[in-house]
Structure 1
Amino acid sequence: MDVEELKKLVAREALKFIEDDMVIGLGTGSTTAYFIRYLGQMIERGQLEDVYGVPTSHQARLLALEHGIPVVSLDEVDAIDVAVDGADEVDPSLNLIKGRGAALTMEKIIEYRAGTFVVLVDEGKLVEYLGKKMPVPIEVIPAAWKAIKEELEIFNARAELRMGIRKDGPVVTENGNFILDAWFERIDDPLDMEIELNTIPGVVENGIFADIADIVLVGTRDGVKRLER
């Protein structure tokens, strides 16, 4: 199976966590897009009733509406039963790096509040330590990006302003901010690093998700492997 097939495999497996009368946090990214599509199919077939989605981004919202999932905002619900999202890296303690889709702030807000946070990845996302393959996305106030980039040198990090691919200039988040991608030599204490980064003035949020994932579904050539905290 190629990577896309592995993504579909874990997306289908995540449906087992969804029941009637649930509020579901809908993550952002290619793997979660498959989950949203399959969830919409179940609703259309009458296999699920009274299910509502809380999207983490415009992308997730548009996909949910396209596939017939009723959408509500965070302030319209009392609780989120399950959140489903992907990740860019997963370490052995199930700490994550997320944010390649630039929706990390709302993802963290919603997934932190979920009763169960289910992460969907293929086996290539498993790493020995965070920062091995991917940078840490950091959402920053535009006026402060250069000062924050210099501040990150204290952490021996090399940061780059993320530039748009199909637009001129930097990527702008849905909150109107910029993204710095920070490369660290390695991150041995993700929780401490997550907290430290958020103390830098001008930082809105960072892409380290420590001690938040409950279940990680890993797509492998031998099927889905389930990891739990």
Structure 2
Amino acid sequence: MNADPVTLMKQQVGYAAAAKVQSNSIVGLGTGSTTAYAIQAIGERLQSGDLQNIKGIPTSFQAIVLARQYGIPLVTLDEVEKIDIAIDGADEVDPQKNLIKGGGAAHTQEKIVDSLADQFIVVVDSGKLVDHLGSTFLLPVEVLPMAVTPVMKAIEKLGGKPQLRMGVKKAGPVVTDQGNLVIDVKFDRIDQPAELEKTLNNLPGVLENGLFVGVADIIMVGEVKDGQPSVREF
């Protein structure tokens, strides 16, 4: 398989995260292209007998489909006492390990699962590392459809520039797995992510936003140097 260095790097990061999963554990299965390789690797470890008695908690339809494809048994939060480890991607990571997530519009379920995990491992490529959140990525806010206009007006008062996320290969807006809409917000810079997370979530009609503050434990970063993929932790 002659994959390009970026694909190989994503694969290596996903596999390195999957290597941290131990037998007899409940695993939060995140969403996105790098996390997909982690799900694949967990499935392969199960098939080979390297891992036993794993149950997955998915964060999206994508995670459900991949887990079934790779033979990982799934359970719901109603059925477990705790989540041992969660593996998920991010759109931005700052030096304090705070994240912006939600590029795949799955951040609400991701936040529930990732926050409950004893250990939350974030898998990213080095392009996702920023000095402060909001540098490169818009902040996703999941909102009930009836509340889109008032929420956008309230976000403007907070200094954000909101736009409704529109579908690709679908007419009209993106609809989340929960049946809601996503507003992507440009903030010039997010200096107090913990405060902004609370403020946004207190707006009536907002379900959840993509700021993940103080949730991540380990960041696994993939890089390509001189055409060679590598993985480091911070």
Deviation at 1:142, TM superposition (A): 0.2
- Aligned equivalents of 2:103 and 2:77: distance in 1? 22
Summarize deviations over 1:58-94 as a string: whole Å, max 9, x none: 1101100110001111111110000000000000000
Deviation at 1:221, TM superposition (A): 2.8
Which residue pairs with 2:171 in the alignment? Answer: 168
Does residue 224 of structure 2 align to residue 225 of structure 1?
no
Q: 2:197 aligns with which of 177, 187, 194?
A: 194
Q: 2:152 aligns with which of 141, 149, 154?
A: 149
With the length of structure 1 as denominator, give the TM-score of the two structures: 0.97
- Aligned equivalents of 1:17 and 1:56: distance in 2? 19
2:18 touches 2:39 (CA, 8 Å); kept in 1? no
What SS is found at the alignment partner of 2:214? coil
Deviation at 1:141, TM superposition (A): 0.6
- Aligned equivalents of 2:86 and 2:173: distance in 1? 29
Which residue pairs with 1:2 in the alignment? Answer: 5
Structure 1: which 4+ aligned runs deviate by more than 3 Å? none
Which residue pairs with 1:49 in the alignment? Answer: 52
- Aligned equivalents of 2:164 and 2:130: distance in 1? 24
- Aligned equivalents of 1:46 and 1:2: distance in 2? 29
The equivalences for 1:54-73 within 5 A come to 54-73=57-76
The equivalences for 1:97-116 within 5 A come to 97-116=100-119
Summarize deviations over 1:137-177 as a string: whole Å, max 9, x none: 00001001011111111221111101111111111111110
Does residue 25 of structure 2 align to residue 22 of structure 1?
yes
Summarize deviations over 1:164-215 as a string: whole Å, max 9, x none: 1111111111111000000100001111111111011110000000010000
User: RMSD value over aligned CA atoms?
Assistant: 1.0
Range moving further from structure 2, 83-92 or 164-173: 164-173
Deviation at 1:6, TM superposition (A): 1.8
What SS is found at the alignment partner of 1:71? coil
Q: 1:122 aligns with which of 117, 120, 125?
A: 125
Q: List gaps (5 residues or longer) in structure 2.
A: none
Number of residues of Structure 1 aligned to a counterpart in Structure 2: 227
Q: Give the letter for the 1:45 counterpart.
A: S
